[in-house]
Structure 1
């Protein structure tokens, strides 16, 4: 199947999920997860009009970013070590994995040094799996209050990863839980501006995530196919 065919199929699925849940298609953004594909495929994705790309390892992403001359908007979607922040800030506009204050401090310091603002999602471990990173839901309110001290890191929403399930319907409580948490935090006016974004849903479960309110879906294989990085 060609890239164009995959994009068309994904688009149909997104439109159907929006229709089922009474949402506007414009509310849902695609991040093409290009971590397993080549520079050429990443370039093709951008040329097809999908302008948001996601990577999770700086050492693999930076050569792609340089080869593509910074085309597109780059999202860091993996666990980010503080010592790698210097490689990420200035290249990646979005960080989907903010999960500790020490990381916020380093992001803020680096962003301030170059006069930029980092847009961040707080990663929440809604499922409670020990294998997953992120804050437990009960920790998020205090974390967000502490984040008010960092003027160059703007928290725009929350991110979560659901368990891998054969039946995507089983992921629904996780996605619903993240949306409800966001809505509760907004009702309390925990942040100076409402949290508007939810980064949730991947190739196997993005339709359910959209039905539950996802504004960013992170799509790898179903969109870009399989391949080896080069």
Structure 2
């Protein structure tokens, strides 16, 4: 099932790129494997997946030693400052930085491990009260502050769009994030690239690709529905 789903998602991304006049190589598919057992991740790996996204630090630290070393792990969920030290040397990208305090902790832990950590700033474009993330007007000031940190590299922006029945409803959200990234890139701030736009999930990733996503985070579309009862282990 996982292999077939993965191939279908790839085809959908390819079609969305063609519709937008984009090269499919510009889009990285992140297999969101939260709550999924290692054998399912291994099946996705065997089918060519190399980038996996997790919401919980505990799941990254549990799965990391059990799977091939050429996997890129992405932290896509809300990151607590006291958990940063467990993953700072294991993840290829942190998608969910939404405060200066969190960035300061990442900087401190990265310095201890002598690594430079690529991050995205999480933007709550839709301003949903139940979601983490910055307001759009808060992003540039935070970019300018974090850009000074020697062990962090700001690579772009991330958003979690609202859950909608019709993915077209999220097109303005994705368009707004793209515009914000272009505006920030135009300022040519040192240590800031804005090369990554992480947006789009199982329900709306094709629309996100059409609007410029360079990373899409697909979980249910690859692995099927999740068993949220397992999350209780990570409290």
Per the normalisation by structure 2, the TM-score is 0.93
2:32 matched to which residue of 1? 33
Q: How many residue pairs get matched? A: 229
Shift of residue 223, structure 1, vs aligned partner:
1.1
CA distance in 2, matches of 1:193, 1:157: 8
SS in 2 for 1:197: strand
Could you list the per-position Cα deviations for residues 193-212 of structure 1 after superposition, in whole angstroms to 9, with x for gaps in the alignment? 43111000000000000000
Shift of residue 69, structure 1, vs aligned partner:
5.5
Q: CA RMSD in A?
A: 1.5
CA distance in 2, matches of 1:45, 1:174: 30
SS in 1 for 2:91: coil
Tell me, yes or no, if the aligned pair for 1:70 and 1:91 is still in contact at 8 Å: no
Tell me, yes or no, if the aligned pair for 1:141 and 1:190 is still in contact at 8 Å: no
1:221 matched to which residue of 2? 220
Q: Give structure 2 stretches of 5+ with no counterpart.
A: none
Per the normalisation by structure 1, the TM-score is 0.95
Tell me, yes or no, if the aligned pair for 2:153 and 2:191 is still in contact at 8 Å: no
Which aligned pairs between 1:107-186 and structure 2 lie closer than 5 A? 107-186=106-185
1:212 matched to which residue of 2? 211
CA distance in 2, matches of 1:109, 1:29: 29
Tell me, yes or no, if the aligned pair for 2:198 and 2:213 is still in contact at 8 Å: yes
Tell me, yes or no, if the aligned pair for 1:52 and 1:73 is still in contact at 8 Å: yes
Could you list the per-position Cα deviations for residues 139-186 of structure 1 after superposition, in whole angstroms to 9, with x for gaps in the alignment? 111101101221111010000011000000000010000000001111
Could you list the per-position Cα deviations for residues 103-135 of structure 1 after superposition, in whole angstroms to 9, with x for gaps in the alignment? 111111111111111110000010011111111
Tell me, yes or no, if the aligned pair for 1:4 and 1:48 is still in contact at 8 Å: yes
CA distance in 2, matches of 1:93, 1:110: 15
Tell me, yes or no, if the aligned pair for 2:60 and 2:73 is still in contact at 8 Å: no
Q: Give structure 1 stretches of 5+ with no counterpart.
A: none
Which aligned pairs between 1:17-56 and structure 2 lie closer than 5 A? 17-56=16-55
CA distance in 2, matches of 1:226, 1:187: 40
CA distance in 2, matches of 1:115, 1:127: 36
CA distance in 1, matches of 2:118, 2:183: 21
Summarize the Cα distance change of 1:227–1:18 in structure 2 as closer, same or farther, 3 Å threshold.
Answer: same
